[in-house]
Structure 1
C-alpha cells in the first residue's frame, strides 16, 4: 500500500464543457480570460477555428508547432494585433512591443546589460532587500497576505537594481502609481477582441491613464537627473538605469526608447516576478515534505557557498519547486502571434492574418504532455527528470528570438 502523501492540487479554472455565448465571453474576458478554455484546449495538440469572433484562430499546444512559430520561422509572425492594442499604448517601443528594426536595435543595445557580470552585481542588493524583508516575518503573528508582500518586495528590489533608489519625487508615490498602473496593464477589453476602431474608449484601461502619465513623468525626471550626473563626469551607480543611458546613441537606443524600456521592465518584471514568488510560497505551504526538503537545502547551501550569485545553481530542489510553480502559474499565460503569410501544418493551410495563440497555461497542463498535470509535483524538474521535458512544452519565459531577455 502506497503511504506517500498525495500531491497538492492547487486551484485553477475548470475547463469549459460548452462554448460560451457572446455575452458570457465578454464577461469572462473582463473577469478572467483563463475561464474561456474548454476541454479540447487541454487535450488536442492543435485547434483551428476558421470563423472566430476576431477572425481565424489557431490554438497551439503542439511543441513542434510552437518551435515552428517562435523559433524556426519567427520572422513570418508578429505580435498579434489584439496584444499590440493592449500593450503598446503603455509600453510604446519597449522591447516587449517593438517590432522590426526597432526591436532588433533595442535587443542588440540591451544585450550587454544582461551579461553575467552585471547580473552578478545585482545579486548583493537583491539579497540585502530579501533579508530585510524576511526579518519582518520574525516579528509577525497570524496570517499575512503573501501576494501583497511579494509585490512590495519585488518593487523594492526593482527600485534598487533599476535606480539605486534614486527616484525623482516621492518614492512612496512612485510605488503606489506602479501598483495602480499594473491593475489595468495588460487587461483584455472586449472591444479589442471585436477589432473595434481605436477611437472607441476601452473602459478597462481608462483608470490607468492618469497613473501612466504620472509614472512616465517620474521616470523621465529620474532619467534626466542621472543623465546630468553622467554628463558632469560624477560617479553614478552602475545600475540598470546607468547601463541603459550608456546604450543611448546613434547606433543604440533613442531617449524615448530608454524611457519605454524602463517602463517595460518595471511593468513586465514587477508583476510577473511577484506573482511567481507568491504562488511558489502558496504551493509550498500546502506541500510540507517539499518545503522541508527546500529548507534543508537552503540552510546547507547558504552556509557553504560564499557568493549569493552561485546559490541557485547549488539548489536543485529549490529551483525545481520554482519551475513547477511557473508551470502551474506561468507569468505570461498566453503568447499571441499573427501569421504574416500562408503556411502548411500537417496538411492544413493556415492563412496569413490568422491569430496564432500559444497558451503556456494550457500547454503546461496538457494531458498529452504531462502526467497528473494539475498536481504540484516539483520532482518533474529534479535532476534526471527535467531532461525528459521537451524544450517547447514548457514556456515560462517564451522561446526564440523574443524570449525574455532577463
Structure 2
C-alpha cells in the first residue's frame, strides 16, 4: 500500500514503465472493455491514446460547452418536477450520460440510460470485483464466479453500444468529429494499423462508462456534502446566483465561480471517483527506502491518500479552501490524484471538470439542498466510490 507522495511520483511518472496495471485489475475490467485505452500497455496504449486525444483537446472540449449547458438546464427542470425529495445519483447519471453520448456518438437515441446504468452497477458488483482466486494467483484463464455472474451485464452494455455504433456509422458524414469518428479514422503511424470493430466497441464502452459515471458521482457527493455544510452551500449559491442570474451556467461563467471548482476538488479529495488502483512490479526497485521486488503487487489507495493525517489537516472535514491557489502551491501535487498523474493522467480530466462545474453552478443557483429523512449514505468501493443507499436529499427551488 503506497501513500507516500514521493513514491507515488516514482510509480506514476519517474519510473512509470516499471509499474504497469496489475493483472488483477485488468482481469476485472477486461470482460467489459477488452484491451482498450485504460487496460492497454506500451505501444498498444500509446497509439490508442494518440487516436482519442484530439477529442479531448481544449478546442474540442470548449466547443462542447453548449451541450453541457443544455444538459444542466434539463437537469434543473427534472429536479423542479421531481418534488421535494430526489435521489441525486440517478439524476446526475442521467445528466452526464447525455453529455458523454453527445461526445462519443453525437447523440444518445440508441441508449436506454436506466437499463445501461443498471448493467454498469451489476457488472461492478460481479465481474468488476477482485476474487480470492486473484490473490491466490490462480491463472486468469481460470473462470472467476463473478465473471460468470456478470456475463449478462456485459452482454447488455455491449449490445447497446454495438447498435449505437452501427447506427452512427450509417449516418456518418465524416464531419461530426465525435469520438467515434476519431476512432474510425485513427491509424497507428508506426504500423499502419487501424482499430478493429472490437477495438472500437471496447474503447467506446470504456469512455461511455468512465465519462459519465465518475462525473455523476463527484456531483452527487458534492451535493451531499453541501447539504451537510449549509454555510458553504449558501456562499456557493450567492456566487453562482450573482454570476448566472436566471440563466444556466456556460463556459464563460466558470472563471467567475471559483468556489464551485474548489467544492468539486474537495469533494474528489474526500470521495475520489476511483478509490483504489493497483500496479505490478516488473523489475526490482526502491520506494520510500524499501525494496520492492519483481512480481510484487502495489496498491494505490487514493481514498486513504486523500485522507492521510500526515498530508492533510483535519482530513475528514469538508473544506474547499484547501484548494485556494496558495494552498495548492504549498502542497505536493502527488498528495492529490483524482485523475491520476504522469503519462497516463486521465485524458478527459478537463472535460469532466468543465461539465461538473457547469451542472453544479446551475443547480446551486436555483435550488437549496438539505439532508432528507433517510440516513447518511456510506461510501462503498466497487470500481468507483458509490454511496450505498444513493444520495437522497430535500431539494427546494429558491426564489428567483
TM-score with structure 2 setting the length: 0.79
Tell me the equivalent position of 1:262. Answer: 204
Q: Work out whether 1:340 is the aligned partner of 2:282.
A: yes
- Which residue number corresponds to residue 160 of structure 1? 102
Q: Which of 183, 191, 199 lines up with 1:244 in the alignment? A: 183
Residue 293 of structure 1: CA displacement?
1.2
Matching of residue 326 in structure 1 with residue 277 in structure 2: no
CA distance in 2, matches of 1:99, 1:330: 24
Alignment deviations for residues 184-215 of structure 1 (CA, whole Å, 9 cap, x no partner): 46322222222223354323343321221232
Q: Distance in 1 between matches of 2:246 and 2:325?
A: 21
Show the counterpart of 1:115.
57
Q: Distance in 2 between matches of 1:108 and 1:378?
A: 34
Q: Find the aligned partners of 1:180 and 1:346 in 2 and give their Cα distance.
A: 38
Q: Distance in 1 between matches of 2:43 and 2:144?
A: 29
Aligned-partner Cα distance in 2 for 1:326–1:127 = 22
Does the 8 A contact of 2:187 with 2:194 survive in 1? yes
* Cα distance in 1, alignment partners of residues 243 and 132 from structure 2: 49
CA contact (8 A) 2:6 2:288 kept: no
Q: CA deviation at 1:267?
A: 2.1
Q: Determine if the alignment matches structure 1 residue 405 to structure 2 residue 344.
A: no
CA change 1:172–1:358 in 2 (3 A) is closer
Change beyond 3 A, Cα 1:168–1:379? closer
> What is the SS of the residue equivalent to 1:392?
helix
Structure 1 range deviating more: 363-372 or 247-256 = 247-256
Structure 2 equivalent of residue 302 of structure 1: 244
**What is the CA deviation profile of residues 264-315 of structure 1, one whole-angstrom value per residue up to 9, with x for unaligned ones?**
1122223212211110000011111111111122123335999822333332
Report the Cα distance in structure 2 between the residues aligned to 1:319 and 1:148, rounded to whole angstroms.
22
Cα distance in 2 for residues equivalent to 1:235 and 1:105: 21
In structure 2, stretches of 5+ residues that fail to align are: 349-400
1:206 aligns with 2:155: no
How much does 1:158 deviate? 2.2
Q: Deviations for 1:47-67, whole angstroms, at most 9, x for unmatched residues?
A: xxxxxxxxxxxx111101100
Q: In 2, are the aligned partners of 1:94 and 1:263 still within 8 Å (CA)?
A: no
**1:19 aligned partner:** none
How many aligned positions are there?
345
In our comparison, the structure showing a higher alpha carbon Rg is: 1
Q: In 2, Cα distance between the equivalents of 1:307 and 1:365? A: 31
Residue pairs, 1:151-190, within 5 angstroms: 151-165=93-107, 167-168=109-110, 173-174=115-116, 177-178=119-120, 180-184=122-126, 186-190=128-132
- Of 103, 113, 134, which aligns to 2:45? 103
Tell me how far 1:327 sits from its aligned partner.
Answer: 0.2
Question: Which is worse superposed, 123-132 or 365-374?
Answer: 123-132
Could you state the TM-score of these two structures normalised by the residue count of structure 1?
A: 0.78
Per the alignment, do residues 271 and 295 of structure 1 end up closer, same or farther by CA in structure 2, a change over 3 Å counting? same
- Relative to 1, partners in 2 of residues 1:146 and 1:115: Cα closer, same or farther, differing over 3 Å? same
Q: Bigger CA drift: 135-144 or 66-75?
A: 135-144
Q: CA deviation at 1:235?
A: 6.6
Residue in 1 aligned with 2:34?
A: 92
Distance change >3 Å, CA 305–CA 247, structure 1 → 2: farther
Write out aligned runs for 1:28-67 (5 A).
Answer: 59-67=1-9
| Matched-pair contact (CA < 8 Å) for 2:127–2:149 | no
- Partner of residue 254, structure 2: 312
CA shift at 1:223, angstroms?
2.0
Q: Secondary structure at the match of 1:395?
A: coil
Q: CA RMSD in A?
A: 2.5
For 1:304 and 1:143, locate their aligned partners in 2 and report how far apart those are by CA, in whole Å. Answer: 22
User: 2: CA distance between counterparts of 1:241 and 1:116?
Assistant: 18
Structure 1 residues 301 and 240: alpha-carbon distance in aligned structure 2, compared to 1, 3 A threshold: farther
- How far apart in 1 are the matches of 2:233 and 2:283? 49
Task: Kindly indicate whether the alpha-carbon contact (under 8 Å) linking 1:109 and 1:252 is maintained by their aligned counterparts in 2.
Answer: no
Asked if the contact 2:55–2:178 (Cα under 8 Å) also holds between the matched residues in 1, the reply is: no
Of 154-163 and 274-283, the range deviating more from structure 2: 154-163
2:325 partner SS: coil
Distance 1:307 1:127 in 2: 6
Deviates more, 1:183-192 or 1:108-117: 183-192
